[in-house]
Amino acid sequence: MELMLKNRTCLITGAGRGIGRAAALLFAKEGGRVVVSDLDEGPSAEVVAEIKADGGDAVACVGDITDPEFAAKLINTALEAFGPSIDVIVNNAGYTWDGVIHKMSDEQWDAMLKIHLSAPFRIIRAAAPYIREAAKKEKEAGRRVTRKIINISSIAGLDGNAGQANYSSAKAALVGLTKTLAKEWGPLNVCVNTVAFGFIDTRLTQAKEKGEAIERDGKDVVIGIPESMRQMFKAMIPLRRAGTPEEAANAILLMASPLADYISGEVLRVTGGM
């Protein structure tokens, strides 16, 4: 059976852990040449090593995607490692910094917009010259190569979620970016879609009581969800459980694969029926 991503250069942000890691491993199994982008060097290197041990091809690109210079670094890493074609971009990196709106600081608000909206915008813009030029040459040669951009959103961006005005707003705006780019780049055979996840079992949705935090701009941001809320969410899901990172990755692969070559400008809800 033909591999779905054979020799396709795939950029995945936030690929050191969780959904991004699962997607990187799955894409590599399907023949993709994966750029593993993550904030932390250790997890990035581990994913690359795992892919290579399994016979795949991958390279790490470590850094903060909210840095205005990082998008160029990511694209250059892909070009240097795998050549001039950029075929799939998965804008997955992110985190939450919750608070009710009347207590939310400007810093909390801006942080979510930076990572969930501005960073994907910059990455797409940095890739634009290479995607557009390749598409024009293929069109002149009478060839059609379909490329994919998959922006990872959340049902919070579609339905809202109390305590997440910043996150919900950024994820909603990402849907607007998706739909606009689908119209702009459709003539270039670029399919642009959003995958909006519900409750997926990752460190961002683990029990908040564990006290795990990530460092952002010199501050520790506690991540996770109170255990009582985790149980409530599960009860609201018809399948009565959280999704796994591997199940989430399957949905991303679907949109990256030839199976979705005529799907663009859409939002795929992956929620277990919630």
Tens of pLDDT, residue by residue over 148-203, are: 999 999 999 999 988 899 999 999 999 999 999 999 999 999 999 999 999 898 87
Q: Are 37 and 44 in contact (CB under 8 A)?
A: yes
pLDDT score at 138: 92
Model confidence at 209, pLDDT cuts 50, 70, 90, reads: low
Active-site residues, by number, are: 167
Is residue 56 in a domain?
Answer: yes
The enclosing domain of 138 has a CATH number of: 3.40.50.720
Is residue 167 in a domain?
Answer: yes
How far is Cα 235 from Cα 166, in angstroms, rounded to an integer? 25
Task: Compute the average pLDDT of residues 30-37.
Answer: 98
CB-based burial of residue 165 (10 Å sphere; 0-12 exposed, 13-18 middle, 19+ buried)? Answer: buried
pLDDT score at 274: 87
Q: Which two tokens stand for residue 156?
A: 């919070």
pLDDT score at 234: 83
pLDDT score at 211: 63
Residue 231: CB atoms within 10 Å: 12
Q: Are 152 and 197 in contact (CB under 8 A)?
A: yes
On average, the pLDDT of the chain sits at 93
Is residue 177 in a domain?
Answer: yes
pLDDT score at 216: 72
Is residue 254 in a domain?
Answer: yes
Is residue 2 in a domain?
Answer: no
pLDDT score at 228: 74
Residues of the domain holding 189: 9-203+243-269
How far is Cα 105 from Cα 111, in angstroms, rounded to an integer? 10
Angle between helices 41-53 and 18-29 (to 10 degrees): 20
β-sheet bridge partners, residue 149: 89, 192
pLDDT score at 139: 87
pLDDT score at 208: 67
- The answer to pTM > 0.75 is yes
Distance of CA 268 to the CA centre of its chain: 13
The CB-side HSE value for 36 (13 A sphere, CA atoms) comes to 32
Asked if the model's pLDDT at residue 214 lies above 90, the reply is: no
Q: How many residues does the chain have?
A: 274
Rg (CA), the chain: 18
Q: Are 161 and 197 in contact (CB under 8 A)?
A: no
Tens of pLDDT, residue by residue over 87-145, are: 999 999 999 998 999 999 999 999 999 999 999 999 999 999 999 999 999 988 989 99
Who's near 174: CB < 8 A, 6+ residues apart? 91, 116, 117, 120, 151, 153, 157, 194
Asked if the model's pLDDT at residue 19 lies above 70, the reply is: yes
Q: Specify the higher pLDDT residue, 2 or 256.
A: 256
Model confidence at 256, pLDDT cuts 50, 70, 90, reads: very high
Secondary structure (DSSP) of 121-165: HHHHHHHHHHHHHHHHHHHHTT----EEEEEEEEHHHHH--TTBH
**Dihedral angle of Cα 235, 20, 258, 135, to the nearest 10 degrees:** 140
Asked if the model's pLDDT at residue 206 lies above 90, the reply is: no
How far is Cα 69 from Cα 125, in angstroms, rounded to an integer? 12
Is residue 50 in a domain?
Answer: yes
Is residue 154 in a domain?
Answer: yes
Is residue 124 in a domain?
Answer: yes
pLDDT score at 207: 64
Encode burial over 59-68: b for 16+ CB neighbours within 10 A, e otherwise.
bbbbbebbee
Range in 51-55, 71-75, 231-235 the model is least confident about: 231-235
Asked if the model's pLDDT at residue 14 lies above 80, the reply is: yes
Number of independent structural domains in the chain: 1
pLDDT score at 143: 92
